[in-house]
Amino acid sequence: MPAAAPRADNRLPLVLDAAARLFRERGYAVTSMRDIAADSGMLAGSLYYHFASKEDLLVAVYAEGVKRITAAVEEALRAPGEPWERLERVCAAHLSALLDDSDYGQVVIRVRPDDVPDVARRLAELRNGYERLFARAVDALPLARKADRRALRLMLLGALNWSQTWYRSGQDSPAAIARRFVRLLHGSTL
């Protein structure tokens, strides 16, 4: 019997889920601890048993978001295939995590690190950690010139992330969007 076993009725994950959903739906600044508490079936004060501050709660959600996107993209990277194919799979995975899979991934895009000055650096580091992973998929491409590689990465990632703005589920699937975006770049770099 492990000593530190969490209780069965631990509601921390519930809190995290509620926060993720609200941060994604409305944004960080505009979501109150009371909102989150109400959605977790608790009182506002009770949240502080689990998280020392609203900012800490955001960091936890954000970290979970990065973790999920990372996991999805790592899996896509592992599968065999030709570099452009792999990039397409990576983009599809990235988009899925951002648009469909859960609130956590969307928070990573929606909440800007500098919206929350006190933890901006921690958030930025989490995001950068992930972006290095994405860069690996671009580095593997057989490109002619080096400068193009950075531009291609920034362009692709920007386009994917911005998709949150216009994406409506039901129409184009993440995979379809990823395919179209990657193909737009493919021919041009031959």
Partner DNA sequence: CATGAATGAGTATTCATTCAT
Partner DNA sequence: GATGAATGAATACTCATTCAT
Q: Which residues form the interface with DNA (CB under 7 A)?
A: 4, 6-7, 9-12, 31-35, 37, 41-50, 52-55
- Using CB under 8 A, pick the residue from 132, 166, 168, 169 that binds its own copies: 166
Query: Measured between alpha carbons, how far is 89 from 81 in angstroms, rounded to an integer?
Result: 10
Q: Does 187 bind its own copies (CB under 8 A)?
A: yes
Tell me which residues in 58-87 interact with its own copies (CB under 8 A).
none
Whose Cβ is closer to DNA: residue 122's or residue 179's? 122
Query: Measured between alpha carbons, how far is 42 from 56 in angstroms, rounded to an integer?
Result: 18
Contacts of 62-65 with C-beta under 8 Å, sequence gap 24+, read 62/107, 62/108, 62/111, 62/123, 62/126, 63/126, 64/16, 64/20, 64/104, 65/20, 65/104, 65/105, 65/106, 65/107, 65/108
42 binds, among DNA, its own copies, none (CB under 5 to 8 A by kind): DNA
Minimum distance from CB of 75 to its own copies (Å)? Answer: 24
| CB contact at 8 A, 73 and 95 | no
- Using CB under 8 A, pick the residue from 30, 52, 71, 79 that binds its own copies: 30
Whose Cβ is closer to its own copies: residue 8's or residue 144's? 144
- Using CB under 8 A, pick the residue from 23, 104, 130, 181 that binds its own copies: 181
Neighbour-count burial for 124-156, b at 16+ CB within 10 Å, e otherwise = eebbeebeebbeebbeebeeeeeebbeebbeeb
147 binds, among DNA, its own copies, none (CB under 5 to 8 A by kind): its own copies
Residues forming the site for its own copies (CB under 8 A): 26-27, 29-30, 112, 114-115, 147-148, 151-152, 154-163, 165-166, 177, 180-181, 183-190
